[in-house]
Structures are given as C-alpha cells and as structure tokens.
Amino acid sequence: MENIRLLSTSMVQATTDKVKDVRIELTQCDLKLLLLGAIQKGLLFIKPKSLEDQNSLIHHLQTSLSRTLDFFNPLAGRLATVEHDDNTVSFFIDCNNAGAQFVHAAADGVAMADILHPVYVPPIVHSFFPLNGVLNYEAVSKPLLAVQVTELADGIFVGCTMNHAAVDGTSFWNFFNSWSEIHRGLDQISNTPVLERWSLLNGSISPPIRLPLSIINNCSDAFTPSPLQERVFHFTKGKIAMLKAKANAEAASTSISSLQSLLAHIWRATTRTRLVEHDKETDLLLLIGLRTRLQPPLPGSYCGNAVVTGTVTLRTGEILEHGLGFVALEINKVVSSYTKNKLKDALESSLKNPGPLTMAGIALRSGSANKFDGKVTVFPGLEEGSMDIELSVLPETLKALENDLEFMDAVTIISS
C-alpha cells in the first residue's frame, strides 16, 4: 500500500454569518477535555465509477458541508481565550466563521478490501484523518472541524476530526447525520442543534469558568502510548441477548442492560489475559450521559459535552472468580447511582476543580485520536440490536483474547 497523496486543502465557511461574533463559553464538561485529542470517526463508501461523478462528489461534499455549517456555525469558528489578572484563563468559542478545513487526498493502490478484510485495523486508516496529534486547546489557531475525503481505488473514505472541547459523541454524530441530509438535497435537518451553552447546574447561560493559567502553559504532549493493535469484534443481537440473560440470571436481577452485560464480558476477558495479581484493583471508567439525567433534561440535540465519568473499581480476583453476573451488576450499580443529587455533586465538584484531564490521567475516553491500552469504542452493528466493539490493546493482549474460548464464543466472525 502506498502513502497518502494530498490533492488539495481549503477552508469551508458557513454560507451565512447569522451568528458571527457570538461568544459561547465552555462548560466544566467541555473544559475537562482541553488537553486531550479530538473525536475522529469516518465512513467508507463505494466510489462513483466515472471521473466526472467523482469530481462532482468532491464539489458537492464541500458545498453541502458549507450549508451544514449554517446549522452548526460554532464548528466554523475557533477557540479563544481571555487571560485574567489573577493568573487564570477562560476559554470560549468565537463564532467568527473562519472556516472548517477540507482536505482532498488519495490513497494510491489502496482498495476497500485492504481496509475491511484484515483482522486488525490497518495503520493506514489513521492517515485518513486530518489534524492528527492536535490537542483540543490548540484550536485557538487550528480549526474546530476538519474533514478529509480520501479516494481509494474503489472507495471514498470521509474522515471527520472534531474538537472534543466543542462537542461530545452525540453532537458529533448529529453533525455527521445532518451533513448527510443536506448532501442528499434536504433544505432542513431533522435534528436542529441547540448551540447555547447552559450551566449544567441551573439551566442558565454558562458563565466564563476560569482555569489556572499554569495548567495550559505547563501542559505536555510528551506522553507516548505503548504500541497498540486494534480490532473490531462483532456481537450479534442473539449473542448479546444470551450474555444479558446469563448476567441477569447469575445476579438474580432484571435490570442489567445489554451493554452492561457486554462490557462485563469484555472486562472479564481482558483481565484473564493480562496475568495480573488477584488482589490488584482495576478500574473501568464509563461515560455517563447527562442529557436525560439532568432535571430539567437537556435537549437531545444539545451541541456540547454532556457527560461525566463513572468508575467501577473491583479487584481482579473478584472479576475472575464471581462470574459475569457479579461484574455486570457492579457496572449496573455505578450507572444507576448517577441520580439527580449525585450528578449535581459531580458537576459542582468539577466547577470548583475545573482542571482538564490529561492523556496519562484518564483510562477511558471516546474518540479514536485518544489511543491507549484498554480503550473500548462501541458502535451499532449493521443488524438491528447488534454491536461492533473496537478494542485497542497491547498486541499480546489481543492475541490472548483471540485464543480465549469464553470470549470468542460470543463473537461472530464476519466472512469477507
């Protein structure tokens, strides 16, 4: 496989400046992600056969992106800062319509089969995304949104890099789906984003939150992760139902969800393969969504970060000896514990201590730019009710998982 060949780079602006010069303050949930990487996700499509249709597609992607930014205008802006006399700094999104980056590239000699058929995710996939290595706080001089359209021999990969201090995964996919609607010729989108940043504690417009200036000035991106391998494991609706039934039966419960059962299955398997001491504590960090849990709830189309982290802590011996139901129930307890009062306490705490997380100080994040040993990303599968799990772990852990009969019994191998 050849290297990526850059064909063009341009800035795409919204067609209207209707919200230009609007200032959107970042909330405590946004600020937590300043020192991490962006969200990077992409989709692979079949390439049009004629050169004329291919050129038309690239142009149409640019124009439809511009029209989509009319609804998501902050993503055409930049981060801005205000330094205060008390050695603190506050961040906001300046809706200046500076534009989103649009990159057109080609991967010569690379076919769709080279991406889809290998057991492990090919490293070249990382080259299908723009702004690699850029941390969120750097958007004071970098775009909040960058798109790379890479032509393969028989396919088109649309990779999207979106600043994680500006949006979370829910907002990211709302943008991607809205772009798809505009690209298909619709004048309006089905899920108009709510752009105002509200205080997550009282529902008012979010005020500026000050961070110690030293956090930004002294930040280091020198963290070097271990060499990882990635593989996507497919779990069918039927296999997931079996895991859920087993977990609830073992725990004498009816409340354990499909996802909690699947996460417990993965956690137990990775613990088995890592050969750690039985009395060692291990953490599973979960992203807890706030949109429906807050009172009053946030709109589903709230465009920003609306998550907190929940931690499940168990000893490795407990994970291995007590079975799937025990582990799944512990995950369920943590998720269920995030009541209105606990969320309020968590948000108040992060308001008092708004320091950003760092790559070396967090164990689970969304977004493929933030690779680390043990990262689990969940995608809905093609079959309704199925799930695809992208797992990033050390090569030796991945090989051991593939030889773990209990783990692989729930995995379905999709033939090429």
Residue with tokens 């849990």: 293
Output phi, psi for 212, to 5 deg.
-60, 130
Kindly report, residue by residue over 229-283, the tens digit of the pLDDT: 999 999 999 999 999 999 999 999 999 999 999 999 999 999 999 876 678 899 9
Q: What is the DSSP letter of 408?
A: H
Output phi, psi for 142, to 5 deg.
-120, 160
How far is 120 from 236, CA to CA, in rounded Å? 19
- Nearest alpha-carbon partner for 277 in 313, 307, 314, 315: 315
How far is 42 from 173, CA to CA, in rounded Å? 10
Please give the model's pTM, rounded to 2 decimal places. 0.90
SS3 at position 56: helix
Confidence band for 225, pLDDT divided at 50, 70 and 90: low
The residue type of 131 is L
Q: What is the DSSP letter of 403?
A: T
Structure tokens at 253: 């419960």
pLDDT of residue 84: 92
Kindly report, residue by residue over 315-363, the tens digit of the pLDDT: 999 999 999 999 999 999 999 999 988 998 888 888 888 778 765 435 2
Kindly report, residue by residue over 282-312, the tens digit of the pLDDT: 999 999 999 999 888 889 999 999 999 899 9
Mean confidence (pLDDT) of the chain: 89
Kindly report, residue by residue over 84-107, the tens digit of the pLDDT: 999 999 999 999 999 999 999 999
The residue type of 394 is L
- Nearest alpha-carbon partner for 41 in 232, 225, 169: 169
Kindly report, residue by residue over 129-161, the tens digit of the pLDDT: 999 989 999 999 999 999 999 999 999 999 999
Confidence band for 39, pLDDT divided at 50, 70 and 90: very high
pLDDT of residue 20: 66
How far is 274 from 394, CA to CA, in rounded Å? 10
Taken in order 253, 257, 258, 259, the sign of the CA dihedral is: negative
Taken in order 158, 161, 162, 164, the sign of the CA dihedral is: positive
pLDDT of residue 365: 24
Please spell the DSSP secondary structure of 63-93, one letter per residue.
HHHHHHHTTSGGGGSEEEEEE-TTSEEEEEE
Output phi, psi for 196, to 5 deg.
-65, 140
Contact present, 28 and 350 (Cβ < 8 Å):
yes
Cα–chain center distance at 202: 26
pLDDT of residue 215: 78
Average pLDDT over residues 191-200: 88
Residue with tokens 């709510």: 194
How far is 377 from 374, CA to CA, in rounded Å? 10
